[in-house]
Amino acid sequence: MKIAIIGTGYVGLVTGACLAAKGHNVTCIDNNQEIVEKINRLQMPIYEPGLEDILKKVMASGNLTVTTDLRSAVLISDISIVAVGTPFGDGDIDLSYIEESSREIGTVIREKDDYHIVCIKSTVVPCTTDTLVKNCLIATSGKNLGDFGLTMNPEFLREGKAVEDFMYPDRIVIGAYDNKSFAVMKKVYAGLFDAPIIQVNLRTAEMI
C-alpha cells in the first residue's frame, strides 16, 4: 500500500521505517526542511536501536522517501497516518498540530476521487478523532465522512525498544469510524505481523 506519514518524530519515523521494511511504499513528511535533509543524509534525528539499519535499507530500496511536500505525498497515497506531536503542559494537551495536519490533509482529499483513509496515531484524548479531526477534514475537503475513511491506531512503543515493539507487537488495535475504514486499515498489518488485530470504535482506541 501507499502510505503517507505526517511527522518524523519518534512515532512517525519508527512507524514509517518499519512499515517500509514490511513492503509498503511510505512517504514521511515533515515541515522542517532541516530535519528532512538530515534524514535523507541518513543522519538520525533520534536514537533508537535498529532504526538506522532499517532506514538505510528502505531508503536504498526506494520503499521510504522523506519530504516536506505533504500535498504530493497524500495525493499518491491510500492512507495518511498523522503522527505529529501532542505536547502536554499546564494541565492541558496541545492539539494544534493535529488540527493543522487534519486541515492540510482535508484540503488534499478535496482533490482526490479515490477513497482515502485518515489515521490518527498521535496520542490524543478521547473524542478528538470523531470531533476535532472529523470536523477539520469535512470542512476542508468538502466531503462527508464515509466518502473518506477515519481511523485511530494507538502506538505502544517504548523508548529504546520501539523498533522491536513495532515489529513484534502483542496486539494491533484499530479504532474505526465504520467497517469500510477498518477493512482498508487492516490491510496495513494483515499477514505481516504475528499478532491479533482488534477492531474497536474511535473513542475506545483513543482511551487505549
Summarize pLDDT for 52-105 with one digit per residue, the tens: 999 999 999 999 999 999 999 999 999 999 999 888 877 788 899 999 999 999
Distances from the Cα of 128 to the Cαs of 5, 73, 93, 150, in angstroms? Answer: 19, 24, 11, 12
Mean pLDDT of the chain: 95
pLDDT of residue 47: 86
Residue carrying C-alpha cell 521505517: 17
pLDDT of residue 116: 98
- Cα separation of 179 and 55, whole Å? 33
- Per-residue pLDDT for 44 more than 90? no
- Cα separation of 4 and 2, whole Å? 7
The pTM assigned to this predicted structure is 0.95
- Per-residue pLDDT for 152 more than 80? yes
| Orientation of helix 134-141 relative to helix 96-109, angle to 10° | 30
